[in-house]
Chain A
């Protein structure tokens, strides 16, 4: 019996290794759809992750509330001051709005929205230290497809890399595999914004031409040259400029506007025709 098992052991190990290497190789590149097993596995996890993230959020909120109570009086005084200044600002903005509407009408301005947004909740994160991904509670059933951009009010979050029926995985722009076309808002120069920084919090912007000028404090927005991100979405602010290649080039360290550690809700950018189906 033992001899029989041993006889089959070596071929079995060889088959196992071949299957494993083949699967790793096949899944190392970008895939259009997830496999049936992956889809089932992820959809089983969705309700558990949803419940767990809700519990976690509740605990964090309660902790925040307790901390807030301590500084309530001070904050109240600060906020009263802020309200007064904001009221003056609102009054000014109303004037601008009226003026803007008048100008739009005068210029026959077409306010067309090219994209619609689908709100999704972050229910999970990558289990590994070596990937920066999040899991959202929206999937194929809601009209989500691979390659769609994910944003928040603060700026760019990432792109959908794979979708199951009720969830999708988003590759964050801080991941080592991420590269986004960017634009220096002040000058209009093109840059390539890459993730994979050592701190996993910042991005690296590399110039696409020799004449590119980037300074600390510059705002980087999406260039809109790719089909993934709409144009002019805020990416981050340049916090440092480092020389490269014997001062012949440079790279800029960009701090993203989005706080990736505290993402709760995000917006998936849908083409307009899909919004109706998703709703």
Chain B
């Protein structure tokens, strides 16, 4: 049950992220919704499961982009795993902790992606606009993610309960 819901969530997020006209653009930048979803689930799930979730989200995004396939998958997996372990040391129910975790996670993810792409030939200069975009995306993800965490966490608990119920009742 939960895997079906996770897949639907990923699909919907990907469709929202790649929306046609004029696209999901705020002040000239696109929020990284797939990365945001991976990071939120990194705070909800166990680190191992979060890494798998991040890998799936990144791979789905890679298949749409069609370039550097597995780069998003690898980056999302690493960042989700890192956040999954790091957040265990903090009180994630605190909204400020969540904001900082998502802000840093998104920033790290974006920098890792650009470094990875640059090492495979993407000529993206490190200008102030690049850093500004990373900052803006991180801020957006931190803000939105800190608010969306609760409902998604509740949904996940409900899914675990349903799965357990199905398992026990057969």
The reply to whether B69 and A23 contact each other, CB–CB distance below 8 Å, is yes
A41 touching B129 in the complex, CB below 8 Å, given contacts A57-B20, A122-B20 = no
Tell me the count of chain B residues lying within 8 A, CB to CB, of chain A. Answer: 49
B79 within 8 A of A: no
The answer to whether A27 and B116 have CB atoms under 8 Å apart is no
Contact with B along A19-50 (1 / 0, CB 8 A): 11101111111000010011001100100110
Interface assignment of B170: CB less than 8 Å from any CB of chain A: no
From A48, which residue of chain B is reached at the shortest CB distance? B15
Which residues of chain B come closer than 8 Å to A80, judged between CB atoms?
Answer: none
A77 to B92, CA, bound (A): 60
User: Which of B60-68, B145-153, B160-168 binds A?
Assistant: B60-68
A27 touches B68 (CB 8 A): yes
Complex CA distance for A196 and B14, rounded to whole angstroms: 24
Residues in A114-140 with C-beta less than 8 Å from chain B: 121-131, 133, 135
Interface residues as binary, B28-55 with A (CB distance below 8 Å gives 1, 0 otherwise):
1110111000000000000000000000
The number of inter-chain residue pairs (CB within 8 angstroms) is 137
Please, how many angstroms separate the alpha-carbon atoms of A21 and B18 in the complex?
A: 25
Q: Does B16 sit at the interface, judged by CB under 8 A?
A: yes
Chain A hits for B123, CB < 8 A: 176-177, 196
Q: Is the CB of B64 within 8 A of A41?
A: yes
- Nearest chain B CB to A200 CB, angstrom units: 7
Question: In the complex the two chains form, what is the Cα distance from A263 to B22 in whole Å?
Answer: 7
What chain B residues lie within 8 Å of A176 (beta carbons)?
122-124
| Distance in Å: Cβ of A134 to nearest Cβ of chain B | 8
Question: Is B91 interfacial (CB 8 A cutoff)?
Answer: no
Contacts of B20 in A (CB 8 A): 49, 52-53, 56-57, 121-125, 135, 264
How far is A53 from B29 in the complex, measured between Cα atoms in Å? 19
Query: Closest CB-CB distance, B66 to chain A, in whole Å?
Result: 5
A-B pairs with lowest CB-CB distance, top 8? A53-B20, A198-B129, A124-B18, A41-B63, A28-B120, A27-B69, A127-B17, A125-B23
Interface residues of B (CB under 8 A from A): 11, 14-23, 25, 28-30, 32-34, 60-61, 63-74, 110, 113-114, 116-117, 120-125, 127-130, 133, 137
Q: Which residues of A contact B (CB under 8 A)?
A: 19-21, 23-29, 34, 37-38, 41-42, 45, 48-49, 52-53, 56-57, 60, 121-131, 133, 135, 161-162, 169, 176-177, 196, 198-200, 261-264
